[in-house]
A and B are shown apart, each in its own frame.
Chain A
């Protein structure tokens, strides 16, 4: 230690003029507002900017130039013999020099900021002592110093093969970085605590460590031999950099390659309307890292595919074709504001356990932000997308775009496309809440089918909920609306997109905020509402009502403060209800029950079933009786399938 401090002290003594120089620069930065052309700016801001620029420049200068001179200079200039002739080891010699350059590189910029800090100490602390940038600087600085010294020695040797090797390794390293940055950033984004900080710091740490060790090895193995120092140092840097980055790449990919078996919590489960595929948006945990991942899972065979799209698309869009054979997703990998590189992909899902998903159509996205709406036709032949105010219809298996129409502003609340390319679009103005529908075909647009508020002309609309009444094999051009007047009286209206007037309507009595509307064909609509002024009010019972042409067929109230979510049942004529009769209390435990649509009678299926029913809030509902209606989650971990005999069995994961 004594040798280290002696070496460091003498290197500092050699370079002491840097300190008064830095202080002088700080004073000059303080006078920056006097510079002609800068006096119209806020003087404090000018001083801050000037001092920051000078401090950063000085830090770069000190670390690179002094690192080069002190760590590599004596070997490069053949003066290392003086030091090696003293009783000081190569490592303490290197450590002392490194310590000296570090002190110079940190103290000089700090001195630049002294005048500013004396004037505004709090501001300086806020600006320059933020933990993250400071930690990054402290991580990178030793590596930069070591790298500068090593480069100086390498340049001295003028070895062509060493330079060529370094260039090749740099290329490989860049490829590694290209591979690792995105998945590593994903971990950093979702990890907690130390792991989060570690994920951000690991690459600078590896880089710094590689050059630090390489520089130390150059000093100890090379000593007075510049050529040997260069080859030992550069070789060490290459090996450490490549091996550690490769190991990190492996670890990062392994963490990211979680399977449905790693699921710890299911956020959303979206079944295909028909067929056995489901989208599972879940949290997975590997090596202490919790990540949001979405899988496309075949609940009958257990085959799964990792959904490459962004997980939140699952909720906002209806990605499956009705037959469950195709899925559309917005691929934002590589998307950035400068390059419109995002695309919408249509992927064909494999049949059975063999085969892999394959992209059958790639549609360019006109913007790097996600589409407002996206729909596949029942057979997956047509794709409709809404980006901004523009609706496009694409023939997935044919020539490409068949329709492109400006739809105007508005939130897309409903989008369906038929196999012939006809589109039913519902939008609602974000400003007024008024909605309108459109029927769009390849030949013409039926502009504004029917505004919501003209369907029921008795009063202005105060509340609106809607759902499409799909029938098997056909996309919905029928929509059910629950509308409330200012006096609280509600009415259910079932209408066609492409024809004026209502198909049928029925009074609902007092209409509380609607939580769900579930159509069972176009003739029977189940409405779940909360008997409270706000839908999410905690202390109110839920009411399930079945509405037909004749009016309310039956109505059930769930507990005093109960909560319920309804979805299509495992067989026609039934629904499945997840109920919690005591939410927020000790007795809270959701249970799954079968609901008879004829009578409203409920019979238990199982308890502790987490509402996969959340997915029933999305516009595209599974067809009653399809396998997708029978998948549930128990204890937020295990996916369960309801068999025809009424038993719950785990979904296999292959």
Chain B
């Protein structure tokens, strides 16, 4: 199962547009194995589009894209054996019971871990017989995380997983994530508006604005860079706001 690929995600000049509106305009970055890479951006900045391109759900108009050494658009089904996804909107069919969602994913996955799935659901306190439509927003997100992690992915893609969650649910989700990272060293690509959570988890951060990455580096590197400009150590939120407002120029 060991893959010699050091860079789990390689994106070069990625362009995507809807109708005449260019949403991604020459995005380039790499994500190293075992790291947590966070993509920050305002609403509509192109984060979800970027994630959908990475997952092979949208075909890029231009640029090259490899995830775990595969082209996502052409090899999506194979790629998804190694990628776990927690989408922005928990979108499991509402009529399904939790059990159905688990069984569906288990039947399609080649390395599904039922024990892990059961233990995780127990920790979250989600009854397996409950319908998806009857779960709370937080429980839906937890279910999605459970579905994503139980397939033992090498890459975990989290598209704003804590959007709309209360503080407790957010913390439980992050704790579960940190536990998995500690256990298996999964590579994570995360998009979020929760900058505190990102600051705690992320090894590297990219800020996307107007379809392009306008700032990128480790949290420490960004802080050091902005210390030079501002004269004090700003928080990630302060950096994000300044970068987005000024297009990366101090």
Contact = CB atoms under 8 A, between A and B. Distances in A.
A, B in one complex: yes
Interface of A: 2-3, 6, 10, 13-14, 74, 78-82, 84-90, 92, 221, 223-225, 227-228
A461 B76 CA distance: 92
Given A79-B91, A81-B91, A82-B93, A224 B77 contact: no
- Would you list the 9 A-B pairs with minimal beta carbon distance, nearest first? A85-B85, A87-B80, A89-B77, A224-B57, A82-B91, A87-B81, A79-B91, A6-B107, A86-B108
Interface residues of B, number: 31
B119 interface: no
24 contacts: A6-B104, A10-B100, A10-B104, A14-B93, A14-B95, A74-B93, A78-B89, A81-B87, A81-B89, A82-B87, A82-B93, A84-B55, A84-B56, A84-B57, A85-B55, A85-B87, A86-B104, A87-B109, A87-B110, A89-B76, A89-B77, A90-B76, A223-B58, A224-B58
Contacts of A90: 76
Nearest to A77: B91
Contacts of B96: 10, 14
Nearest to B16: A225
Contacts of A224: 52, 57-58
Contacts of B109: 86-87
In this complex, which of A80, A81, A85, A92 has the most chain B Cβ atoms within 10 angstroms of its Cβ? A85
Contact of B108 (A3, A79, A221): A3
A79 B101 CA distance: 14
A82 B105 CA distance: 10
Nearest to B104: A10
Given A13-B100, A223-B57, A6 B108 contact: yes
Interface of B: 18-19, 52, 55-59, 76-81, 83, 85, 87, 89, 91-93, 95-96, 100, 104-105, 107-110, 148
A81 B107 CA distance: 18
A79 B93 contact: yes
B140 to A, nearest CB: 11
A91 to B, nearest CB: 9
A166 to B, nearest CB: 18
Given A3-B108, A78-B89, A79-B91, A86 B80 contact: yes
Given A81-B57, A228-B59, 19 more contacts: A78-B91, A79-B93, A81-B52, A82-B87, A82-B91, A84-B55, A84-B80, A85-B85, A86-B80, A86-B105, A87-B79, A87-B108, A87-B110, A221-B59, A223-B57, A223-B59, A224-B52, A225-B18, A227-B19
Interface of B is mostly: loop
B49 to A, nearest CB: 10
A74 B100 CA distance: 17
B115 to A, nearest CB: 20
Contacts of B148: 85
Given A14-B93, A223-B58, A87 B19 contact: no
Nearest to B75: A89
Nearest to B18: A227
Contacts of B80: 84-88
In this complex, which of B52, B78, B96, B108 has the most chain A Cβ atoms within 10 angstroms of its Cβ? B108
A227 B81 CA distance: 27
Contacts of B78: 87
Nearest to A2: B107
Contacts of A227: 18-19
A10 B148 CA distance: 19
Nearest to A5: B107
A88 B78 CA distance: 8
B196 to A, nearest CB: 26
A228 B59 CA distance: 10
A78 to B, nearest CB: 7
Nearest to B148: A85
Contacts of A89: 76-77
